[in-house]
Structure 1
Amino acid sequence: MNTLPNDHEKIARRAMEIMGGPDAFFNAADEELANINARWNQNVSEIGRILRAHLFVEHYLTQYLAQANPRLGSLSDARATFAQKVSLLDVDNPDIAAMLPGIKRLNAIRNRLAHNLGAQISDDDARIFLSCERFAALRAARSTGEREENEPLEVLEDFARHTAVSLTYEFAPLSKAIAQSILEVRNLGDAI
């Protein structure tokens, strides 16, 4: 639909007539702009922190799956979603199984954010992350007697870092050296 330069003025005048006059037109325009700005003016720091945590965990999740399944093709080329990658995890591994509720909740929060820019992280979300007993115990131990910060966003970020460490641990050279030394010390004792 092509319009001539002077058609824009006619279109604007007609739209104002349809809306009931200039005041009604501009009030409606201001209201729509206010709604758009309300969605635009979200807490970008909080949104960024949520997205960073999700992307961070997905990076380590992808890396873990590739290392655990060396003959698996490229998950990137397969365009596997976060949820599909989670479904590939070994639920028989107790360390993985303990983290799964939190990993799934992180994805649910990211999805909530995608569908509602004003999504907040709740205390219920934090409780799901803290239900991973090892994470909760390590987090509590790290607080060293100080009041532990249980702000839901802080818990989410801590859980993301814990998940990265846990997914990396099995294949990291340092953990392999520690595991090997444990076996050797147990088996060879004083001979080492």
Structure 2
Amino acid sequence: MREIEGIDEAMAVLKPYWEEIEDNFDRHNHRFLQLAGADHDSIGRVLRAHLVVESLLNTYLPEYFGLEDFDELRLSFAQKAKMLPAAKSSASFVRPGIIQLNKVRNKFGHQLNHIVEFQEINSIMQILDIARSGAKFDTPIDAIEAFAPVACAFLSIPPKHLQEAFVEAFKNVHTELPD
């Protein structure tokens, strides 16, 4: 007994269409090769930054909101980012950049050959201008990578007395959602 029963009959039905089937396959294969040839370095660097920030979000949010079984909520990155306080918290400072990081990551999800431009990371650049003043970035991907540890630092929950200092320091900080 063959492992694939009926294949000979299936091939006989398809034989009159074989040239058209091969042309169709070649078109799809060409598109696959284009997508597979995308700059994986950029994709990988953005994805790594995204995953690192998400890891800290998964620690910060349950602690900040006192949530048990947070993982069982199965929230998307965008939902987690929108849960970050928009005011009166050190996390509010990096919130727009985190939301923007997710938008950049999503663009790669829809178009593997997407090229990140500085204008699409303006919130990230504003945060870096403050947190890493004087630093210059050759590419938007370099800036995204520099943003990730800044975001993580502002997502860390310090000891209670430092939390109070952060609340006082950030009491007048309010952020808006990035474009």
Q: Is TM (by shorter chain) over 0.5?
A: yes
Residue by residue, what CA displacement relative to the aligned partner does 1:54-90 show, whole Å, maximum 9, x if unpaired? 11111111211122233x1222111122122222222
Q: Distance in 2 between matches of 1:123 and 1:151?
A: 8
8 Å Cα contact 2:108/2:114 also seen in 1: yes
Q: Which has the larger radius of gyration?
A: 1
Note if 1:110 corresponds to 2:112: no
Note if 1:46 corresponds to 2:36: no
SS at match of 1:112: helix
Amino acid in structure 2 at the alignment position of 1:91: A
Residue 66 of structure 1 is matched in structure 2 by 62
Q: Distance in 1 between matches of 2:50 and 2:98?
A: 9
8 Å Cα contact 1:67/1:171 also seen in 2: no
Change (3 A) 1:9 1:91: closer
Q: Distance in 1 between matches of 2:7 and 2:58?
A: 54
Listed as ranges, the matches of 1:25-174 within 5 Å are 26-70=22-66, 72-93=67-88, 95-132=90-127, 135-141=128-134, 143=135, 148-168=136-156, 170-171=157-158
Q: Distance in 1 between matches of 2:27 and 2:118?
A: 33
Percentage identity across aligned positions?
Answer: 23
Deviation at residue 164 of structure 1 after TM alignment: 0.3
When the two structures are aligned, how many residues end up with a matched partner?
161
Unaligned runs of 5+ in 1: 17-21, 180-192
Change (3 A) 1:76 1:10: same
Deviation at residue 39 of structure 1 after TM alignment: 1.4
Residue 171 of structure 2 is matched in structure 1 by none
Deviation at residue 95 of structure 1 after TM alignment: 3.1
Deviation at residue 154 of structure 1 after TM alignment: 0.6
Report the RMSD for the aligned CA atoms in angstroms.
Answer: 2.6
Larger RCO: 1 or 2 (CA < 8 Å, sep 6+): 2
Moved over 6 A (4+): none
Amino acid in structure 2 at the alignment position of 1:140: S
Deviation at residue 116 of structure 1 after TM alignment: 2.0
User: If each structure's helix is expressed as a fraction of its own residues, which one has the higher value?
Assistant: 1
